[in-house]
Amino acid sequence: MSHVSGLNTNTIVVGVDVHKYSHTAFAIDCFGQALGIHEFSNDYLDKFVIWLDSLGSRENLLVALEDVNGYGCHIVKCLASEEIVMRYVPGILTERKRKQSIHREKSDSVDAERVAKVILTNYEETLPAKESIANQAERTVATNLDFLITERRSLVSGQTIMKNQLHAMLHQLQGDHYADQFIKVFTPKSVKYFQQSMCESENTETDLERLALTASIQRRLKRLELTASQIKEIDDSMKKTALSSPAVQALRVGVTGCGNITACTLAAEITTIHRFRTKAQFARYAGIAPIHKSSGNHKRLYTSPYGNRKVNRALHTMALYQISRRDDHPGKIYYQKKLAEGKTKLWALRCLKRQLANRVFQTLKNEYNARTIPAT
């Protein structure tokens, strides 16, 4: 599928404000002049495509979308099947555009227009939609991994909450030494022990308050067991899905500290490295590139709070693994070099994350080129 490499005088940008049952599209030309407004729903996406075709040639058409994973998923699928070029617009850019405007009223058509104008003014800060640039295999793997990782993240979060509750409740029931006989408290073996202990307490306990506490602990232990089994099931599914992803395999082999879950997270978020032209653009997407703030002779660099936080966290995990190794790993040597230069530990870690972002970009770029460029 061909994609728009930039803007020109013939470009028509259509911003879409997405809602659950209805959507509003606002079309502008390269000078920001309005060309038309169209309201539609997911039941009439074919009419939306006809309206897009009425604006001009598809070669000059670019659809800007803010919400692509939620209520906008049906629009994305339709436009991808029609091979209409799409581009993602981060929500923070449209919000910034609203705050900078003299007229700050909010409506569906105004919001759609702002989404379109972000493309004209902040084109380099947006990304081509993965549906417009990735092949079907890459999209399928990325989508499957994203579902699995999202579900796993939710289960792990719930598991942590249950463990913290159980720590407090077991301490209340059995005192300070409830976990003395276990190195780790909530292993399958220890959970079985606590379940048996609760059953014995129910048969011998006469205090109603302690009986209620015992029953509550039992229910949580059962949910903890179920959650652990579901996490294992997801991990197994993730391993099978990862086998069909060359990107995941390349990351696991090419980047130290990039385990299966981390590699799957990166593959799900990036989808295809072809979306990024340079390693600097990828670092900015990950929120690794610092923000420059200067005035006169006063120049400072600040950590970016923006970017894809999931990718940022994956790079952070790899960086921590490398600096904690006992051997002289290049990542650890680089981190210590930055400390010797006078950098703080946190800033040295950020420098290492930038190098890892470059390594991830180059690894995926090499893998992509190996698949797409035929051998001579």
Residue 250 lies in a domain: no
Q: What's the rounded mean pLDDT across residues 72-98?
A: 86
| Structure tokens given for 221 | 């232990």
Q: What pLDDT was estimated at residue 2? A: 43
Sign of CA dihedral 79, 83, 84, 88: positive
Instruction: For strands 34-40 and 23-28, give the pairing.
Output: antiparallel
Helix, strand, coil percent values for the chain (each to nearest 5):
60, 10, 30
Q: Minimum mean pLDDT among 44-53, 119-128, 261-270, 351-360: which range? A: 119-128
Residue 150 lies in a domain: yes
pLDDT(101) > 80: no
Residue 168 lies in a domain: yes
Domain end position, chosen among 185, 212, 242: 242
**Chain centre distance of CA 69:** 11
pLDDT tens-digit series, residues 40-79 = 999 999 999 999 999 999 999 999 998 666 788 889 889 9
120 plus 168 within the same structural domain? no
The confidence band for 125, taking pLDDT boundaries of 50, 70 and 90, is confident
C-beta of residue 272 within 8 angstroms of C-beta of residue 133: yes
Residue 283 lies in a domain: yes
Residue 3 lies in a domain: no
Q: What pLDDT was estimated at residue 170? A: 93
The confidence band for 5, taking pLDDT boundaries of 50, 70 and 90, is low
Residue 4 lies in a domain: no
- Number of domains into which the chain is organized: 3
Residue 58 lies in a domain: yes
213 plus 273 within the same structural domain? no
Q: What pLDDT was estimated at residue 351? A: 94
- How far is it, in rounded angstroms, from Cα 357 to Cα 279? 8
The confidence band for 13, taking pLDDT boundaries of 50, 70 and 90, is very high
Residue 71 lies in a domain: yes
CA atoms within 13 A on the CB side of 23: 29
Q: What pLDDT was estimated at residue 168? A: 95
- How far is it, in rounded angstroms, from Cα 153 to Cα 144? 14
- How far is it, in rounded angstroms, from Cα 269 to Cα 286? 10
pLDDT(1) > 50: no
Q: Degrees (nearest 5) of the Cα angle 337, 343, 344? A: 120
pLDDT(362) > 50: yes
149 plus 127 within the same structural domain? no
263 plus 302 within the same structural domain? yes
Query: What is the number of other CB atoms lying within 10 angstroms of the CB of residue 254?
Result: 16
268 plus 362 within the same structural domain? yes
266 plus 212 within the same structural domain? no
Q: Which residue has the tokens 């950098």?
A: 343
Q: What pLDDT was estimated at residue 165? A: 96
151 plus 110 within the same structural domain? no
Domain end position, chosen among 242, 265, 291: 242
Residue type, 272: T
216 plus 183 within the same structural domain? yes
The confidence band for 370, taking pLDDT boundaries of 50, 70 and 90, is confident
194 plus 111 within the same structural domain? no
Domain end position, chosen among 181, 213, 242: 242
55 plus 116 within the same structural domain? yes
Q: What pLDDT was estimated at residue 313? A: 95
Provide the residue range defining the domain that includes 235.
139-242
**Chain-wide mean pLDDT for the chain?**
89
* Cβ-Cβ contacts under 8 Å for 301 (sequence gap 6 or more): 290, 291, 292, 293
270 plus 218 within the same structural domain? no
236 plus 291 within the same structural domain? no
CATH code, domain carrying 64: 3.30.420.40
